[in-house]
Every structure is written in C-alpha cells, then in structure tokens.
C-alpha cells in the first residue's frame, strides 16, 4: 500500500513537472508556461471531488437497479485510486512542511 502511495505521488510530481508548473525563470523576465502549482492543485482537488460525486451517483443508481454492475465497479475503483492519490500528495506536503520546520535558521 505504501508503494502504491509513493508511486501515485511520484506520478503526480512527474505530471506537474511535465506541465511546466508555472515556475519563473531564473534571471530575466518571469514567464509562465503553464498553470501555477496552486492552480494545478486546485484543479486536481476539484476533479477528485467530481469523481466522488459521480461515484455516489452511480452507487445510488445501482441501488435502484438503474446502473450496471461493471459501471459501479469501475466507478468505485476510480474513486479509490483518486483518494489514494490525494492522500499520497497530502502526506508528501505534510512531510515537506515538517522537514522545513526542522531546518535550523
């Protein structure tokens, strides 16, 4: 389970790095090539919330026998992976914060 969280966090970091991350260039004018980290994180959390809502909707339809079993299983699996990714990113952010707090001034 820990390896899954680590791999999810690593994949999220790689994706953010490939998107440019909106980091300013050193020396010269600041030029953003992609979304900022805040925008990327906000969009990701919004997508995670939407995935949760869709899963709840499909679960309710399944109870009312209006959704197929494979739709329910796919939706629940997708929600689980999304939650694991969010938890992994949260853990990495908290670890980075704790590392910064421990740094001597």
Triad 62, 46, 52: Cα angle to 5°: 20
User: Is 13 a residue whose pLDDT tops 80?
Assistant: no
- Phi–psi pair at 27, nearest 5 degrees: 75, 115
Residue 8: the pLDDT is: 63
The 3-state DSSP composition of the chain as helix, strand, coil percent (nearest 5) reads 75, 0, 25
- Token pair, residue 58, equals 């499909």
User: Is 14 a residue whose pLDDT tops 70?
Assistant: no
Residues sharing a CB contact under 8 Å with residue 60, sequence separation 6 or more, in sequence order: none
Mean pLDDT score, 40-61: 92
Q: Are 34 and 20 in contact (CB under 8 A)?
A: yes
When the pLDDT of each residue in the chain is averaged and rounded to a whole number, the result is 81
Mean pLDDT score, 31-52: 85
The reported pTM is 0.61
């Amino acid at each position: 389970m820990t390896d899954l969280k680590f791999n999810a966090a690593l994949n999220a970091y790689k994706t953010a790095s490939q998107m440019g991350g909106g980091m300013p260039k050193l020396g010269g004018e600041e030029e953003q090539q992609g979304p900022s980290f805040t925008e990327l994180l906000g969009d990701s959390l919004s997508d995670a919330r939407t995935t949760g809502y869709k899963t709840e909707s499909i679960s309710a339809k399944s109870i009312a026998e209006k959704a197929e079993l494979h739709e329910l299983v796919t939706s629940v699996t997708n929600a689980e992976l999304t939650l694991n990714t969010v938890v992994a990113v949260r853990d990495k952010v908290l670890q980075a914060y704790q590392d910064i707090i421990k740094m001597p001034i």
